[in-house]
Structure 1
Amino acid sequence: MNIDLSSLRKNYKKNLSEYSIQKNPFQLFHNWFQKEKLIHKNENLNQEINAMSLSTIGIDGSPDTRIVLLKEYSNKGFVFYTNYLSIKGISIKKFPKVCLSFFWEKTERQVIIKGITYKINKKKSDEYFDKRPRENKIGCWSSKQSSIIPSRKYLINKYKKWDKYFTKKKLTRPFYWGGYIVDPYKMEFWQGSSNRLHDRIVYKLIENKEWIIQILSP
């Protein structure tokens, strides 16, 4: 099988003015995210703009990438939640450096973040878990993420078992589930532009927690 995709292309039309570049990359991320959020609200779009690719290095030394949801961001970093005993959790424990990637088609923008991952404190994980829908909480107890199972029926039966179990007990957070925060040391902002002359702005963290800004060729 040989499928030719060479005709699939998009002409980008926007550009990133150097005057709009912030000294702090977190502020620029916030501006971009809020812009995307506003567009989706005005156009009544139901897309997860907080979806991001998370790339880790597996214990076999090869990369793994999957989509997770950003649940919080601040000047301290970017927070997501998962099963600590999953493939990604095991990988992060051994190799805490990860890469996050966002792509927002509406604004023709991409953000790539490299950083070091840490577990957030248990109290904060508990608070977020308590906010989740009950069905999602039961799902956390039902799935030993990344493990091999015999069938979907097996998973559904486990869900029913935990659902029944927690009818009389408080639905607490499993010890193996919680949040991570990615503390970035490099953040790249990509803006699609005409003639494939895309704008690429990189922030690199240096000593004294200062950011230097570099412009890259596309």
Structure 2
Amino acid sequence: MQNLLKAMTAGDVVVYPTETLYALGCDATSEAACEKVMDIKGRSAVKPLPLIIGGVDMLGLVTDDRPAALLELASSFWPGPLSILVKALPELPSCLSDEDGYTSVRWSGHPFASELSRRLRKPIVATSANLSGEVPVALPEDLSPRLVELAGAVYVDPPWPKGGKPSTVIRVLGATRLEVLREGAVSVKKLCDKGFSVTIAAPQ
């Protein structure tokens, strides 16, 4: 872990496991590092970079929003693959948020990813570790050699990602209302089972 922390502190990008897939990330408070992630991945500048934190107590590093629904969702599904849109702090890099100022954040259920954020004491970027147009991966041997070459540090020791679907991305619309922007590892049924009314966003 120390080599990844050193790389991120120096403004470099890293590859690390999450509960679902391998991620390409960096110190989310560094605009230059975030731009480096987008350049390496070939990601469109109009697609905000998602974030990971190491606990609910770190939400204040990402947003000032604390709606009751967010806290209820966090209590029910975090740590785990549920990414929630929140109003980003204005000092965070612009590439982390959409045109309305919202970014997505989750407390990762992978012990390494969570601890990486906690030790850095900052939110970290968590976009899938694949070049744009390629398939996201869950096994170290499937990582793009080019991507590994461009990263400042890579962690491939177990536990590896579980694979399958990526995180589910939601927007809080009200006290009991949610919009699902991407259904992933957390199903709509599980959200409904917690008492939320769910609508599905139209495909972009």
Greater strand content? 1
Same-fold status (TM-score > 0.5): no
Give 1 or 2 for the bigger CA radius of gyration: 1
TM-score (norm. length: structure 2): 0.24
TM-score (norm. length: structure 1): 0.23
